Amino acid sequence: MTRDELLDLYRRSGALLDGHFRLTSGLHSPGYLQCALVLQHPPHAEALGRAIADHTRDLRPTVVLSPALGGVVIGHEVGRALGVRAIFAERQDGALTLRRGFALDPGEKVIVVEDVVTTGGSTRETMDVARAAGAIVVGACAIVDRSGGKQGLDVPFHALLPMDVTTYQPEECPLCKQGIAVVKPGSRTPAKP
Ligand SMILES: [Zn+2]
């Protein structure tokens, strides 16, 4: 899947948004990619999973591990394409944890799969979950990389769509200065600035 095909898929799914957004990081941005809007279509999710799998097969992972919620659907599709199981870690008292009986065997080869990487923080935390279980993290991947190449992971990393999304500190945001209401992506109501 080429970059243009991927962007076209996002555009057609209404997942490439223009406006004035307050990101989870607190920064403001004129654009946002809502991966869930693409992944809601199972054939699209499957195609993205296959594309990621094609980049990670050589690492010979035996299990996919994703952080909930964002990584669950794409992780499952990567697992399907690789023919390995797909599990997820979720937050309990603030820390990512394996629950529901999910377990990793010592020495198992894990690939961490996310929808979007921004700072790499949740990817690193997911890698820590795998390593704490004695598994080996062989790589990490995402659909979208918003880090500008600064995710700083200590394993091979691949994203289908490296994207430089402009961000502003709220106090320096030109959209705020124009008086445009800032919204939290995914919500219909204006966010507190
Ligand atoms: Zn703003």
Q: How far, CA to CA in Å, does 153 sit from each of 57, 126, 149, 161, 162?
A: 19, 12, 10, 17, 15
**Dist. CA 152 → ligand 1 center (Å):** 27
Q: What is the CA radius of gyration of the chain?
A: 17
CA 45 – ligand 1 centroid, Å: 31
Centre of ligand 1 to C-alpha 138, Å, is 38
pLDDT at 192 over 80: no
- Write down the pLDDT at residue 187: 61
22 has pLDDT over 70: yes
Residue 17 has pLDDT above 90, yes or no: no
Give residue 171's pLDDT band: very low, low, confident or very high (50, 70, 90): very high
| Ion ligand 1 residue ranges (Cβ < 5 Å) | 28, 173, 175-176, 182
CA of 15 to the centre of ligand 1 (A): 20
Distance 165 CA to ligand 1 centre (A): 14
CB atoms within 10 A of CB 79: 22
Going 45 to 159 to 79 to 55, the CA torsion angle's sign is positive
Q: Check if the beta carbon of residue 39 is closer than 8 Å to that of residue 51.
A: no
The more confidently predicted of residues 135 and 150 is: 135
Taking the centre of ligand 1 as the mean of its atom positions, its distance from the CA of residue 27, in whole angstroms, is 8
Cis-peptide, bond into residue 69, ω within 30° of zero: yes
Give the C-alpha separation, 135 to 9, whole Å.
35
pTM of the model: 0.86
Round to whole Å and give the CA distance between 123 and 159: 12
Q: How far is the CA of 116 from the centre of ligand 1 (A)?
A: 21
Predicted local confidence at residue 28, as pLDDT: 93
Q: What is the pLDDT of residues 141-169, one digit of tens each?
A: 999 998 888 888 999 999 999 987 788 99
| Lowest-confidence segment of 13-17, 99-103, 113-117, 170-174 by average pLDDT | 13-17
Residue 146 alpha carbon to ligand 1 centre in Å: 18
